Amino acid sequence: MKDTKVTGLVAVAVGSLFVYSGIKGFSILKAAQNVIRGTGPNAGQKASLLTTSQVDTATGPGVANPTAGQWSHGGLMNLWIMNGGSRATANNAACHAIQESSGNASVTSRNPDGGTNVGLWQLDTPGGAGRGFSITQLQNPNTNAKVAIRASKNGTDWSAWATPGC
């Protein structure tokens, strides 16, 4: 009976560590080592969703105020999915974001229609997909992803973008 309780407790602890590491984007091995050392599962680790050192203000997708830094291809796929985008279209969506903004969430560019293209998917204001949003709002990676998901019909229609995707 005692062995069953210990085994169950260990299984719950290990499972919790896996879930925590997956949600936070941390290495399971590093998280386990840190727990054994008594330093906490995320000591000294930064989330792998962003490729810049700006992770200290957020860990990436799903955070209320995510960092508007340089995003990796994998981070962009996660961002797409975490904001309601289809897993099936996430790779192509990430390619579009890389081609449009080089993965930089805060980048802007002038649009020939007089508007401004903003953020990861370079959403056009005031007359394009970014209509009704401020530049600051569209520089938020979560907002930019949600608008891009809607405007591209969940990644199935990229006709409003000048980039070919993957």
Q: Report the distance separating Cα 123 and Cα 3, nearest Å.
A: 58
Q: In this predicted model, what pLDDT tens digit does every residue of 42-73 receive, in sequence order?
A: 555 443 333 333 322 233 444 444 566 789 99
Sketch the domain layout of the chain as residue ranges: 2-45, 47-166
What average pLDDT does the segment 137-160 reach? Answer: 95
Residue 87: pLDDT over 90: yes
String of DSSP letters for the chain: -HHHHHHHHHHHHHHHHHHHHHHHT--HHHHHHHHHHTS-TTTT---TTBSSGGGGG--STT-SS---SBB-HHHHHHHHHHTT--HHHHHHHHHHHHHHHTTBTT-EEE-TTS-EEETTTTEEESSSTTTT--HHHHTSHHHHHHHHHHHTTTTT--TTSSS---
- Regarding pTM above 0.85, the answer is no
Q: What is the CATH number of domain 47-166?
A: 1.10.530.10
In 3D space, the residue among 15, 23, 21, 53 whose CA is nearest the CA of residue 34 turns out to be: 21
**Average of pLDDT values for 85-114?**
94
* pLDDT 10s digits, 27-42: 656 666 666 666 655 5
Which long-range contacts link 94-102 to residues 24+ away (Cβ below 8 Å)? 95/163, 95/165, 95/166, 96/121, 96/148, 96/152, 96/158, 96/161, 96/163, 96/165, 97/71, 97/121, 97/148, 98/73, 99/163, 99/164, 99/165, 100/161, 100/163, 102/70
Whether 142 shows a pLDDT value over 60: the answer reads yes
* Mean per-residue pLDDT, 111-122: 92
